A = this chain, B = another copy of it.
Amino acid sequence: MSEIRQDPTTGDWILVAPRRVSRPWQPSDFCPFDPGAPETGYGWDALILPNRYPVVAPDAPEVEPDPFYARLRAYGRALVVVETPEHGLDDISDLPEAQIRRVLGLVAEEMAKAASDPAIAYFLFFRNKGREIGVSLTHPHSQIYELPVVPARVARELERSKSYYEERGRCLHCDIISAESKSKRVVASWPRWIAFVPFYARWPHEVHLYPTRHVQLFTELGEEELDELAAALKLVLCGLNKALGKPMPYMMVLHQAPLRGGPYPHYHLHFEIYGMYRPDGKLKYAASAETGANIYTLDTTPEDAAERIRAGVEICSASRLGHA
- Chain A interface residues (CB < 8 Å from chain B): 1, 5-18, 20-21, 25, 55, 66, 68-69, 124, 126-128, 133-135, 143, 145, 147, 149, 151-154, 156-157, 160-161, 164, 172-173, 175-176, 179, 198-202, 251-253, 255, 272, 274, 278-280, 282-283, 285-289, 291-302, 304
Q: Given that A14-B298, A124-B295 are known contacts, is A283 also in contact with B134, CB under 8 Å in the complex?
A: yes
A272-B292 contact given A14-B202, A200-B6, A285-B134, CB 8 Å threshold: yes
Given A199-B66, A199-B69, A286-B286, decide whether A13 and B296 contact each other with a Cβ distance below 8 A: yes
* B7 x A285 contact (CB < 8 A): no
Query: Out of B147, B160, B287, which one reaches A251, CB within 8 Å?
Result: B287
| Contact indicator B299/A17 (Cβ below 8 Å) | yes
**Contact of B172 with A15 in the complex, beta carbons under 8 Å:** no
Residues of B within 8 A of A14 (CB): 200-202, 295-298
Q: Contact at B300–A251, with CB atoms within 8 Å?
A: no
Known: A69-B200, A286-B291. A298 touches B147 (CB 8 A): no
Q: How far is the CA of A147 from the CA of B15 in the complex (A)?
A: 33
User: By the criterion CB–CB under 8 Å, are B283 and A160 in contact?
Assistant: no
Residue A288 contacts which of B128, B173, B292 (CB distance < 8 angstroms)?
B128
Q: Kindly state the separation between the CA atoms of A266 and B286 in the bound complex, as whole angstroms.
A: 29
Contact: B12 with A151, CB < 8 Å?
no
CB–CB A145/B8 < 8 A: no
How many subunits of this chain does the assembly comprise? 2
Q: What is the CB-to-nearest-CB distance from A277 to chain B, in angstroms, rounded to a whole number?
A: 11
Chain B nearest Cβ from A174, distance in angstroms: 12
Contact, CB under 8 Å: A294 / B12: yes
Supply 4 further A-B pairs (C-beta < 8 A) apart from A126-B288, A151-B293.
A14-B298, A20-B297, A134-B283, A251-B288
Given contacts A69-B199, A179-B68, A282-B25, contact A161 B9 (CB under 8 A): yes
- Contact between A295 and B128, CB atoms less than 8 A apart: no
Chain B positions within 8 Å of A147 at CB level: 295
- B301 and A18 contact, CB distance less than 8 A: yes
Instruction: Give the 9 A-B residue pairs with the shortest CB-CB distance, closest first.
Output: A134-B285, A253-B292, A151-B293, A126-B288, A7-B200, A153-B294, A152-B294, A251-B288, A151-B295
Measured in the bound complex, the distance between the Cα atoms of B201 and A33 in whole Å is 32
Report the minimum CB–CB distance from A286 to chain B (whole Å): 6
Residues of B within 8 A of A66 (CB): 199
Among A8, A161, A176: residue with most chain B CB under 10 A: A8
B172 x A9 contact (CB < 8 A): yes
Are A157 and B9 in contact, with the CB atoms below 8 A? yes
Contact of A8 among B176, B280, B304 (CB under 8 A): B176
